[in-house]
Amino acid sequence: MRRISVQGNYKMKPKHGEVLSFFFKNLARTMFLVGAGTLFALSLSAFITQEMMEGLKRNISMPLQVIYATLIGFLSPEPRYIIYPILAKLREFGVSAGVLIALISGQVLIEPSGFFMEAGFFGWRFPVKRLLVSFILTFGAGILTNLLFKGL
């Protein structure tokens, strides 16, 4: 590394080769994690069957389906792209758009690690209030989608 001086303070300036090495190392790690997450979701979606979905749709009312999807979304791990293969499989088996929107919205608005981070920074009341507001918004989005776009 070369030293450069900025008003008497010496800082280390990385060489181009070091920057590229760092970039490609992190790119490889990121691609591995993306691939592993997608493989996990594809493997999990393979266990979802048409009969299972028909049974769930027949035995669970629509508002309760949206509530379950919201809660599953809240507990789903980040990043969101991991659940897309599962959502595609659910959609293929006729799960309503409202349920899918509730699941995606729930995952975006609240996720477990974020909840605990917020509690650590802002106290327990803040994430609990945010969880309640997020639940209301997500449930509302799912129900509204089902009412407005029945055939979607």
Domain boundaries, the chain: 1-47, 50-148
Answer whether residue 111 shows pLDDT above 80.
Answer: no
- What lies within 8 Å, CB to CB, of 88 at 6+ separation is 45
CA 84 to chain centroid: 9
pTM score: 0.66
Beta bridge partners of 4: 11
Contacts of 108 (CB under 8 A, 6+ apart): 73, 80
**pLDDT of amino acid 20:** 83
Confidence of residue 145 (pLDDT cuts 50, 70, 90): very high
pLDDT tens column, 65-96: 888 888 888 777 667 777 788 888 888 888 88
Token readout for 130 is 């945010």
pLDDT interval class at 125 (50, 70, 90): very high
pLDDT value of residue 27: 87
Nearest alpha carbon to residue 83 among 52, 61, 108, 66: 108
Q: What is the pLDDT of residues 32-63, one digit of tens each?
A: 877 777 777 677 667 777 787 777 778 888 88
Token couple for 148: 């407005």
For residue 106, what are its two tokens? 């729930």
**What element of type H or E holds 13?**
strand 9-13
